[in-house]
Amino acid sequence: MRNTFITSALLATAFSFANCTNFNHKDTNPITASTVVDEKPAKTENTKIQVAILLDTSNSMDGLIEQAKSRLWNIVNTLTTLKYHGKTPDIEIGLYEYGNDGLSAEANYIRQVAPLTTDLDLISEKLFSLRTNGGSEYCGAVIADATKQLNWGKDASNMKLVYIAGNEPFNQGGINYKEAISDALKKDIYINTIFCGNQEEGIRTFWKDGADAGKGKYFNIDSNKAVLYIATPYDVRISECNTKINTTYISYGASGHAKKANQELQDANAQGVSQANFAERAVSKSKAVYKNDSWDLVDKVKDDKGAIDKLKKEELPATLQNKSKAEIKVYVEQKSKEREAIQKEIGELGKKRQAYIDAEMKKTNAQDDLGGAINTSVIAFAKTKGYTVEK
């Protein structure tokens, strides 16, 4: 398990899995890539890991939101260790908020903050925009919405997980949580519950029952505890590499400039949490799952070799508009090679960093926070689906 930081007030308490349910479901036999097709028969669909995070944003949940912001890139880095038949799956993360009185009563005080997406900067942006208010927390309703509204993959090899976190009774609202969970299971979506409070209280208020019904795991966390990171000797150099890798992104298209600006904003958000969290984000940016082909020309050309020929002059950044297509191709290739070298260095530093953190973690026992709960169950569930874990 890739826990990269620990909660200060919980250093003396070991997290117990005794009351957590095990993943227990009948696996569908993996099918070969040649039989997995999307709407275009000539192209196979890549295996997906899809994770929907449903966060209670009522007044008492400020600490939970802070943990989510602090843990996003660590969760991403855990997901990137998973391989299916030796290949790296696509990672899609979706986000809902519920229990916020600022939201529509007709919508059960629920809002889809972000759909399932590979745009990890978007997820970071939306997490940092969340504010608490109110509220009325309807777990069954938000699970039902996530099940129906999100674009869940249909491949048998896909891993589809919901994590719902909150602190009010799980059975509130007009939609029965067992019926909502039953509908999720029909789509091979597994429900994990994270109660923000005492473990026994979570059991009494049906959070464990929700996980049992959803064939997932039940966790309890102290959402009010601030997250502390383990600083490592590699963090500074990784951050320096992040600055260098940003220079390899070439924005294009109508949203290119804004997306590039958002990338830098999410760097700043991560750094505002801590230097160690900033290093976590930089490690994520060195991975294949951090891709921005919708606005970055380097990533776009990897998927479409003819992309440059298709672009209009006005779709290019000002620095490239007066260059020939041949000159642009040379420039993009140069930036691609630069990025690969930087990513390789970050990857090597990231492994050393993780080894350092793992060694420090062995010196203490710590209860899991939001990220730790998600990481633990993701790894456990992945193994039941035939995924391998690579360091």
**Pairing status of strand 159-166 against strand 110-117:** unpaired
pLDDT, mean of each 10-residue run, the chain (391 residues): 38 34 38 42 74 95 93 94 93 97 95 97 97 92 98 95 97 97 97 96 98 96 83 96 98 96 97 93 96 96 95 94 96 98 98 92 72 90 92 71
Burial class of residue 243, CB neighbours in 10 A (0-12, 13-18, 19+): exposed
pTM for the full predicted model: 0.85
3-state helix, strand and coil shares in percent for the chain, rounded to the nearest 5: 45, 15, 40
pLDDT of residue 29: 39
Q: Give me the sheet containing 159-166, strands edge to edge.
A: 110-117, 90-98, 48-56, 159-166, 189-196, 218-221
Q: Which residue type, as a one-letter code, is found at position 159?
A: M
- Structure confidence at residue 135 (pLDDT): 79
DSSP bridge pairs for 82: 389
pLDDT at residue number 304 = 95
Domain with CATH 3.40.50.410 in the chain: 15-225+369-389
- 8 Å CB contact between 42 and 153: no
Name residue 91's amino acid. Answer: I
Give the pLDDT score at 105: 94
Dihedral (CA of 95, 119, 315, 265) sign: positive
Rg (CA), the chain: 21
56 neighbors 168 (Cβ within 8 angstroms): yes
Distance from C-alpha of 103 to C-alpha of 56, rounded to nearest angstrom: 12
Looking at the domain 15-225+369-389, which fold is it?
Rossmann fold (3.40.50)
